[in-house]
A and B are shown apart, each in its own frame.
Chain A
Amino acid sequence: MYNLLMKELKLGVSPFFYVLPFLTGALMLIPGWLYFLVILYFCFITIPNMFGGYKSQNDLMFTSMLPVTKKDMVKAKVSFIVILELLHVVTAVIYGMISVRLYPNLTYHFFAPSFGFWGLCFVMLAIFNITLIPMYYKTAYKYGSASIVSITAAILFAIGAEWLGIENSFVYDLFKGTGAENWAIQLSLLLIGIVIFAIFTIIAYHIANKRFVKVEM
């Protein structure tokens, strides 16, 4: 499994996609922006490029001929996606910290880069993963519809969350009102987000695994 993961890191994507999080992360410096977009760029750009690369390079055949189990093939790929997602979130968090210090007196209409907001980003990625990964592994090479559906699901979640943050007083309080200053609430929101992300991704892996067993090269 470790060697498969190393294979993904070395061959899976162009090194450009390891730099990309630092570029998209810089968008956190736009004051009061829709910060969900920063993470969504991963879904818009990296995923279709990565899967397109696998398809054109015959990665499925290449990997299948190596002495590895199908299960490990899925595990490595899911882990690789998670690593890239974490890279995007962590760099965005760092830029977010700079951003709040750059504009201390800003009034945020959309979510500010708080820990609670990063929790929501993890939920968004959880929804993205649970739609993308199982759909992709029906064939393990067709990524068009899987990308469109998962990106749409992630966008709908982001819109819904922003809308609730504005319209719903409970959500408003939690993220922008009194809850914003409360570290316990903020960290709990982040933690809940991470837990949902982990659970959804693990479920996605298991469904993908079941489907991939039936895939023929």
Chain B
Amino acid sequence: MLALDIKKLNKKYEHFHLKNVSFQLEKGYIMGFIGANGAGKTTTIKSILNLIRMDSGEIHILGKNMSEHEVELKQEIGSAFGDINFYTRSKIKTLTNVIKTFYRNWDDDTYYKYLKKFNLIEDKKIAELSTGMKVKYSLALALSHGAKLLILDEPTSGLDPVARDNLLDIFQELVEDGEISILFSTHITSDLEKCADYITYIHNGQIINSAEKEEFIDMYRLLNGNKEQLDIIKDQLISYKTNSFGFTGLIHTNDFDPSLAIKSTVPNLEEIMIYFSKKEDMYV
């Protein structure tokens, strides 16, 4: 079953266009949603949550159409926005008491279990929580109302490496039973190498690729060669950088001819992102 199914999502702004965004997330898996700042991650996430009106396209969550069953589906979704704070001068206790009245499956026992697990103190104000603690509080809320799909916008941004690693472990624990699915956007690619099952890469409002993590990385090769070799292969490269020894460039694995004897390595996500964003600069 698909936890999330996005088909041909379009949203046009004056200076930005989300073009035919489509991807699927299987139930019980973690999908990393990567892209540079301004690539369209948050716009896509806001469209999924119906916070902005899409121009065209369809969004299905747990098999149901989001625009038709918004209120019902929001019972099943937990969301967190890493950089937005609400009612920061209110205590956790006050906010929870308000929030829980909206969810029919709210479970106090689960809530207190996660508060304890995440070391959250009820009498603390939101403003007193660290960035990581805020994300954990959002997770505690989502899990207490039995959310099946967690949509998290940059939950790891602004966290120190220890807190990030800790959060990623929690993500993995959550999906273990196969009931919960997580979509989280980030520009910190090392997070995904640690815990994502699937990767969706958005660039300039368009999905470049959405695939299983290993498969995703395997689709590209990073080439190192000299200037003569660059001339031969230039047109096949997604983009390249030159240096005094020669060049480094990214290529689709399918376009690469191993008989050329150019040194090739498997790139990491960061390198894929960098070379894709360089592509545009080259044609400007």
- A interface residues, Cβ below 8 angstroms from B: 3, 6-7, 10-11, 57-59, 61-62, 64-69, 214, 216-217
The 3 A-B residue pairs with the shortest CB-CB distance, nearest first, are A67-B74, A62-B86, A217-B51
Residue B81 interfacial (CB < 8 Å): yes
Contacts of A68 in B (CB 8 A): 71, 74, 102
* A11, B94: Cβ atoms closer than 8 Å: yes
Residues of A within 8 A of B51 (CB): 61, 64-65, 216-217
B84 touches A57 (CB 8 A): no
Do A67 and B86 have beta carbons less than 8 Å apart? no
B70 within 8 Å of A (CB atoms)? yes
- Chain B's nearest CB lies how many Å from the CB of A18? 16
Q: In whole angstroms, what is the CA distance A7 to B103 when docked?
A: 13
Query: Known contacts A7-B98, A11-B94; is A66 also within 8 Å of B87 by CB?
Result: no
28 example contacts (A-B, Cβ-Cβ < 8 A) are as follows A3-B101, A6-B101, A7-B101, A10-B94, A10-B98, A11-B94, A11-B95, A57-B86, A58-B84, A58-B85, A58-B86, A59-B86, A59-B87, A61-B81, A61-B86, A62-B87, A64-B49, A65-B51, A65-B74, A65-B79, A66-B99, A66-B102, A67-B102, A67-B103, A69-B70, A69-B71, A216-B51, A216-B52
Nearest CB on A from B150, distance (A): 12
Instruction: List chain B residues, Cβ under 8 A from A214.
Output: 53
Cα–Cα distance between A11 and B86 once the two chains are bound (Å): 11
List of A residues within 8 angstroms of B84 by Cβ: 58, 61
Chain B contacts with A in 217-241, Cβ cutoff 8 A: none
B128 at the interface (CB under 8 A from A): no
Contact (Cβ within 8 A) A67 B72 = yes
| B75 interface contact, C-beta 8 A | yes
Q: For the complex, give the distance between the alpha carbons of A69 and B73 in Å.
A: 12
Q: Closest residue to B11 on the A side, CB-wise? A: A216
Q: How many A-B residue pairs have CB under 8 A?
A: 59
If A6-B98, A61-B81, A62-B86 touch, whether A217 touches B70 (CB-CB below 8 Å) is: no
Q: Quick one: closest B residue to A66, CB to CB? A: B102
Total count of chain B residues near the partner, CB < 8 A: 28
Query: Knowing that A58-B86, A64-B51 are A-B contacts, what are 18 other residue pairs whose CB atoms are under 8 Å apart, sorted by A's residue number?
Result: A6-B101, A7-B101, A10-B97, A57-B88, A57-B89, A58-B84, A58-B85, A58-B87, A59-B87, A61-B81, A66-B99, A66-B102, A67-B71, A67-B73, A67-B75, A67-B102, A67-B103, A217-B52
Contact residues in B for A65 (Cβ distance below 8 Å): 49, 51, 74, 79
A10 CA to B99 CA, complexed, in Å: 11
Q: Which one of A3, A62, A66 contacts B74 once the chains associate, using CB atoms below 8 Å? A: A66
Say yes or no for B46: interface residue by CB 8 A criterion: yes
By beta carbon, the residue of chain A nearest B52 is A216
Distance in angstroms between the alpha carbons of A61 and B101 in the assembled complex: 18
**Given A65-B74, A67-B103, are A57 and B53 neighbors across the interface (CB < 8 Å)?**
no
Per a CB cutoff under 8 Å, which of A11, A216, A217 touches B90?
Answer: A11
A214 to B55, CA, bound (A): 12
A7: which B residues are within 8 A, CB to CB?
A: 98, 101
- Report Cα–Cα, A118/B170, bound state, in Å: 60
A22→B216 CA distance, assembly (Å) = 66
The reply to whether B75 and A57 contact each other, CB–CB distance below 8 Å, is no
Distance (whole angstroms) from the CB of B194 to the closest CB of chain A: 27
Q: Which residues from A are CB-within-8-Å of B98?
A: 6-7, 10-11
Kindly provide the distance from the CB of A88 to the nearest chain B CB, expressed in whole angstroms: 24
Q: CA–CA, A64 to B49, complex, Å?
A: 9
Q: What are the residues of chain B within 8 A of A66 when measuring CB–CB?
A: 74, 99, 102
Residue numbers in B under 8 Å from A10 (CB-CB): 94, 97-98
C-alpha spacing A175/B270, complex, angstroms: 77
Closest Cβ of chain A to B74, distance in Å, is: 4
Q: How far in angstroms is the closest Cβ of chain A from B34?
A: 23
B82 to A: closest C-beta gap in Å: 13
Nearest chain A residue, comparing its CB with the CB of B151: A65
Give chain A residues whose Cβ lies under 8 Å from the Cβ of B87.
Answer: 11, 57-59, 62
In the complex, chain A residues whose CB is within 8 Å of the CB of B88? 57
Contacts of B85 in A (CB 8 A): 58
**Distance in Å from the Cβ of B20 to the closest Cβ of chain A?**
20
Please give, as numbers and ranges, the residues of chain A lying within 8 Å of B70 by CB-CB distance: 69
A53 to chain B, nearest CB (A): 9
Q: Chain B contacts of A57 at CB under 8 A?
A: 86-89
Q: How many angstroms between the C-alpha atoms of A59 and B98 in the bound complex?
A: 13
